[in-house]
Structure 1
Amino acid sequence: MTTHPPTTRRLVYGHAQLHDCLAFANADTAAQEAEEIKAIAAARTWGQARTLRTTHVSNPVHPEDYDPDEDPADDEPFDINEVGSVMQGDWPPMVAGRALTLLPEDLQTRFGKQQFTALNGDLLEIPLSSEAELVDELRQRGYEVRRDDELINVLDGRSFSPLAG
């Protein structure tokens, strides 16, 4: 397991529906990330989607990140679920993977199980039953922790995914 020092002491967490586990995000940027994801998903045309500038997340159809010659013209209707990286589950990146950089390694080992996905990278599967003990441990270590299931699932793409239910 790769060791990464925690990047923040303020965390938001919740039940990530896709992997049915707890997931964590940086509370300092999570709301802005979610707004950027929703803005891209809400674009009405390919041109509108391509020109959206983001600060916290990559834009899967921005010309710097994606070849616009492979996509419909700017005035064509846009559907986020037709974007290759979205269909493959690569965008937005799995929120359940963030715990691997946000949580102290000893807590990752104690409460979670690192899972490898061939296409989408590693994630830390933390069972919902561990919530109270893990949150208590984080707070004892000086972390500010709050639960927001909706925000966590927006970060995971569940606000637009046809798999959301």
Structure 2
Amino acid sequence: MDNTLSHKQHAKIQAHIQAHQHVPGGLMPLLHAIQDDIGYVPEAVYPEIAKALALSVAEVHGVVSFYHHFRTHPIGKHVLQICRAESCQSMGSDKLEAALKANLGVDYHQTTADGNVTLLPVYCLGNCGCSPAVMLDDEVYGRMSAEKVADLIAEVCHG
């Protein structure tokens, strides 16, 4: 068992494995269930998943690493996604990205030292008319600047 996993988290993962182990094509639904429940898919459980689904550890790793949706590490209390699609890039998301990385002190797929914010890239939020766009948790915001995003983060983290 992964020492970073609590017994409760490991029990939840085991329950998901048992629920999906006899489902044809059950790997993707299993990975989604684990991430939805504990926030990420720990690499330490790949062997257990592989054994239960009669797959290799490499196959499990390959699926997790192929799909950008899956995370292999815990995330922050809040998730900030910066749109990287063409419309947002043409409207300055690259400058927004650089400023936010510097202000937060993290790169993509990293979490701030205080555990509050995980920064992720996203490749279209469907808000092209209001570029550049970001999504903080489940809310999309358009026409963003580094200052506006900093205000949003301050509001949700300290608000």
Instruction: State the TM bucket, normalised to the shorter chain.
Output: under 0.3
* TM-score normalised by L of structure 1: 0.24
Structure with larger Rg:
2
More helix by percentage: 2
